Structure 1
Amino acid sequence: MIKKSALTFFFLAGTLLLTSCGLGAATSSGEAAVSAANIDDIDLPTGVEIDFWHIQATVYGEAITEMVQEFNATNEWGIVVNESFKGSYQELNQAVRASLAGGGAPDVSMAYENDVLEYVANDVIVPLDAYLDSDQFGVSKDDFADLVDGVLARQQVDAYKGLTLSWPHGNSSMGLYYNADLFETAGIDGPPTSWDEFLDQARQLKDTTGLAYSAMGPAKNGIYYNMLRSKGITPFDAVAATTEFTSPESIESLELLAALFKDELVYTATDTEQEFTNERTATEIGTTARTSTKIDQIGDKFEWSVALTPQETDEPITQLFGGNHVILASGEPEQELAAWLFMRWFADTDAQSIYAARTGYSPAVKSALDTALLSADYGENPQKADAFKSVFVNAQIMPPTAAGNAIDDMVTGVLEEVVLGWVTPQEAAERMDAEAASLLQASPQN
């Protein structure tokens, strides 16, 4: 592992300099290849202070503060966690890059898989396998089995080449919120089960109530990816550097988006939640993390719930959201062990029940559902229970790649041209295919 003071070499002007080393540096260096026995020989991290950077504000940030205070007050080693809000995921990623180049990097940071692959390409991340296997500080087989399948899978994705590079923070999924009262008024029986039915319902709602069916945010790449995956299509293959953007399923999805906006059945809004909670739309496609805020904002104004987005295969799938925790290398074994102990605690039953009860996130571990705290919360707020049981258990991440952030930005821009009518679905598909393939080929994974 590389000490933070030596990291300036890898970062130029605050922008990550991707190297061609892939996962090699993180797996082949003697210092990084520690064993569980080495971990058990590390001195206990008594009184160690660690810095934890995250993206959580409002009720989510309040939950983080509560949890950090709980850990600081109860952990047996006297570890002190200093938590710091860093804005959006993009702003957090930028802050981490700058800190690694200039000093003062955090010990633990939230990160998406694409961010993880950027960091590991530059040998600045600590693999967790030795900690997980440790007799003294590890995770048992029962604890592994307790993790929700999709959550565990995202810590050990194929792109990590056999390593575990992150551990759970909080997770949510892409669901479809619907106003049951407006549906009843429009003669709609329930949420759509296919994208054709989604379009039919949108037209029916417009004809009967004059309202738009849904509002979509400026970044529509997540909804587009969800459409593809619900049709059994994975948008791209990071290893082969190929895409499915010109597939028939993709063209169908782009045509649907174009038609929805052309006929004013949906519209773009910065805050789609406000459009839904104020009854300007009948549905919202968005993260289930917002169930808690909707409960507060809607109150008893109308009946509502959350369901899976439309599905067109026998195996339901939706997007899995939420950052994980990673350890950024400091070269200080006690410091890194303290970081791991905090991360392990955060993903355990009691901590996850606090996080899920205080927010709209779903717990990473199934055992949290049996705690008195979360059982009572889900009993009082059935929409949160529906989000877990109907949506979250079917969630999986997108295939991660170090080029993922750039691909997302590109797809977002092209989709906006589609909904504005500036390019045809076919033209958009061909552009996305060419540009994404080029980005994937230039990725450190290839």
Structure 2
Amino acid sequence: MEGRNVVVTYWHNRPQKDQEFLQAMLDEFNKTNPYGITARAEIAGASYNDVYNKINAAIQAGVAPSMAVAYQNQAALYRSMGAVIDLTPFIQSKKYGLSEADLKDYFQTFLDSDANPQFKGERLGFPTQRSMEVMYYNVDWLNKLGYTEPPKDWATFEEIVCKAAQEPGKYGWAIRHDASNFASQVFSRGGRIIAEDGSAYVFNSQAGVDTLAMMQRLAAKKCAVEIPVAERYGEQNRFGNGDVLFVFASSSGLPYYQQAVDKGGKFKWDIAMLPNTGKPAVNLYGASISVFKTTPEQELAAWLVIKWLGETNQTARWATQTGYLPVRQSAKDIVINNFKANPMWGPVADTYAKMFDWVQYAMIEAPVAGYDPVRTLIDNELISVVITDPNADVKALLDKAVEKANQILKENAPR
């Protein structure tokens, strides 16, 4: 490896300020690594979808990057195209891998989420950041309605949402066109999106029925408001203006919600886990970094960059910069202290710390090839229908959607 002067490119979707921060970190790696590796970060799009589309085109053209940000289901699709590699040999390598102490330092649920059920547990990516779906809520407004804490069960949630909507122009909850929003609610009602072994979609369970039925009721009563797809960050802006009481969204949005509130209603706000039916569950998000099939030198160099980004110092700095969770337990206190030292965060710094306790309830959606079209199906044929048709048969819709989803799963299964 030494003396090969390998250059690796890393495609991601972070904004320019994070690109500059990331490249400054990589410049440190470039100066200090003993192998002469040069790592360059590049913005490949504004969203994960943009990166996914660009990578698909690059694979077809034979010009994939050395490594890129990828959700588990996207990595599975790339693997089915023969384009990404299993990182297990690198992780276990005596010379270049991770020690037992290192592996124990990583949050186990974060590592587990990259073992792919469709490819016999191959690790098609490695985590350098994670976030989770949380419930953002307006503390002042909730108190005004007579509640001292956020709702812990769905019946109380529904009751509060409708009380909040009694004020003209105000709504209790923002309904988003987002399959992950749907999944988070299914999880918190004891359901799953896909069977644990990745063999079949199962979101037409009672948990799926209850999730859709509640959306349908709250939309029909005008207690909740639909956020149109075209209204980018609409839920965030409406929350910041004090027009919506509850939003379910990624914890990685914390700094942006803070900015929205500062610009808008300037009220006290916080985050909590979603309500549940007796057993908490959180939807663990987080694209990992996948390594593409190039040359043995490039693949090893890409792994060494990922390994370095996952070290305590780097994961702590990245989490502090972005609001993501660090991937190592040894970085937890560093990041919490950084947040507490920054007055911008206020009481949210304390709640950020709570998320580390919520990690134990983590679930992931569907780490299988073809989940992207299934996500579109969940929005188009479930969410979009029930919020506009109060008489739609929720169970029939779910059964039909699961049948289509399982057909997509079959079409994308490894051959």
Q: Is the 8 A contact 2:19 2:41 kept in 1?
A: no
2:310 aligned to 347, 352, 356, which one?
347
One-letter code aligned to 1:139:
L
Q: Does 1:215 align with 2:183?
A: no
Q: What amino acid is the match of 1:54?
A: H
SS at match of 2:225: strand
Q: Distance in 2 between matches of 1:355 and 1:170?
A: 8
Secondary structure at 1:430 match in 2: helix
Amino acid at match of 2:303: W
Q: Quote how far apart the aligned CAs of 1:208 are.
A: 5.9
Q: Confirm or deny: 8 A CA contact 2:116 2:368 kept in the other structure.
A: no
User: In the alignment, which residue of structure 1 is the partner of 2:367?
Assistant: 400
Deviation at 1:128, TM superposition (A): 1.3
What is residue 251 of structure 2 aligned with on the other side? 288
RMSD in angstroms over aligned alpha carbons? 2.2
Separation in structure 1 between the aligned mates of residue 292 and residue 200 of structure 2, nearest angstrom? 31
Q: TM-score, normalised by structure 1?
A: 0.84
Q: Which among 354, 363, 371 is matched to residue 326 of structure 2?
A: 363
1:163-217 deviation per Cα after TM superposition (whole angstroms, max 9, x unaligned): 2221113211000011101111111222111121110111122236762012233
Alignment of 1:246-285 (within 5 A): 246-269=204-227, 270=231, 271=233, 272-285=235-248
Task: Provide closer, same or farther for how the CA distance between residues 404 and 255 of structure 1 changes in structure 2, counting only shifts above 3 A.
Answer: same
Between the aligned residues of both structures, percent identity stands at 22
Deviation digits for residues 279-308 of structure 1 (CA, Å, limit 9, x no counterpart): 111121100001122233334911111110
- State the match for 1:427 in structure 2: 396
Aligned match of 2:386: 418
Instruction: Give, in whole Å, the separation in 1 of the partners of 2:3 and 2:172.
Output: 54
Q: Secondary structure at the residue paired with 1:402?
A: coil
Between 173-182 and 150-159, the greater mean CA deviation after superposition: 150-159
Q: Secondary structure at the match of 1:215?
A: strand
Question: Given that residues 239 and 261 in structure 2 are in contact (C-alpha distance below 8 angstroms), is that contact kept between their aligned partners in structure 1?
Answer: no
Amino acid at match of 1:324: S
Q: Say which SS state the counterpart of residue 236 (structure 1) adopts.
A: coil
Residue correspondence of structure 1 range 150-165 to structure 2 within 5 A: 150-165=109-124
Q: Is the CA contact (8 Å cut-off) linking 1:173 and 1:391 kept in structure 2?
A: no
2 CA distance for matches of 1:340 and 1:199?
47
Query: For the Cα contact (< 8 Å) 2:2–2:36, is it kept in 1?
Result: no
> Which of 308, 317, 324 does residue 281 from structure 2 map onto?
317
Match of 1:75 in 2: 33
Q: Is the 8 A contact 1:401 1:445 kept in 2?
A: no
Gaps of 5+ in 2: none
Counterparts of 1:215 and 1:370 in 2: how far apart (Å)?
A: 33
CA distance in 2, matches of 1:391, 1:210: 34
- In 2 relative to 1, CA 246–377 (structure 1 residues): closer, same or farther, beyond 3 Å? closer
The structure 2 residue matched to 1:333, chosen from 296, 307, 317, is: 296
Worse overlay, 399-408 or 280-289: 399-408
Q: Which residue does the alignment assign to 1:185? A: 144
Residues 378 and 164 of structure 1: is their aligned pair in 2 closer, same or farther, counting only changes over 3 Å? farther
| Structure 1 residues 112 and 349: alpha-carbon distance in aligned structure 2, compared to 1, 3 A threshold | same
Aligned with 1:308 (options 256, 266, 273): 273
Whether 2:40 is the aligned partner of 1:86: answer no
Given that residues 356 and 374 in structure 1 are in contact (C-alpha distance below 8 angstroms), is that contact kept between their aligned partners in structure 2? no
Q: Distance in 1 between matches of 2:169 and 2:373?
A: 38
Is the 8 Å Cα contact of residues 292 and 384 (structure 1) preserved in structure 2? no
- Secondary structure in 1 aligned to 2:21? helix
Change in 2 beyond 3 A, CA 1:67/1:424: farther
CA distance in 2, matches of 1:115, 1:347: 21
Report Cα offsets for 1:101-158 as digits up to 9, x if no partner: 2133100111111111111112221211221122221101111111112211112243
Does residue 55 of the first structure (1) align with residue 19 of the second (2)? Answer: no
Provide the rounded CA distance (Å) in 1 between the counterparts of 2:309 and 2:54: 22
TM-score (norm 2): 0.90
For residues 45 and 277 of structure 1, the distance between their equivalents in structure 2, rounded to whole angstroms, comes to: 53
Gap change, CA 1:58 and 1:306, over 3 Å in 2? farther
1:195 is aligned to 2:157: no
Distance 1:239 1:396, change over 3 A: closer
Give a deviation string over 1:373-406, Cα, whole Å, max 9, x none: 6523245434245233354453321131112111
The answer on whether the counterparts of 1:362 and 1:392 sit within 8 Å (CA) in structure 2 is no
Matched residue count: 400
Is 2:86 aligned against 1:127? yes
Residues 61 and 310 of structure 1, relative CA distance in 2, 3 Å threshold: farther
SS at match of 2:166: helix
Query: What letter is aligned with 1:320?
Result: L
Q: 1:103 to 1:434 in 2, by over 3 A?
A: closer
The structural deviation recorded for 1:83 is: 1.2
Q: Give distance in 1, aligned partners of 2:341 and 2:307.
A: 28
The residue aligned with 2:356 is 389
Contact 1:45 1:338 in 2 (8 A): no
Q: 2:71 aligns with which of 107, 112, 127?
A: 112
Query: Which residue is equivalent to 2:126?
Result: 167
Q: Give 3-state SS (helix, strand or coil) of 1:436's partner.
A: helix
2:107 to 148, 163, 167: 148
| Conserved 8 A contact 1:172-1:288 | yes
Relative distance call for 1:45 and 1:213 in structure 2 (3 A) is: farther
Alignment match, 1:39: none
CA distance in 2, matches of 1:148, 1:341: 20
- Taking structure 1 as reference, are residues 63 and 392 closer, same or farther at Cα in structure 2, changes over 3 Å only? farther
User: SS where residue 405 of structure 1 aligns?
Assistant: helix
* 1: CA distance, partners of 2:64 / 2:205: 43
- Counterpart-to-counterpart distance in 2, 1:361 and 1:281: 24
- Cα contact 1:110–1:169 (8 A) shared by 2: no
Task: Note closer, same or farther for the CA distance 1:369–1:378 as it changes in structure 2 (3 Å cut).
Answer: farther
Tell me how far apart the structure 2 counterparts of residues 73 and 217 of structure 1 sit (CA, whole Å). Answer: 44
Code of the residue aligned with 2:385 in structure 1: it is: E
1:316-375, Cα deviation, whole Å (9 max, x unpaired): 211111210111011x2211111111010111111111111011101111111233x652
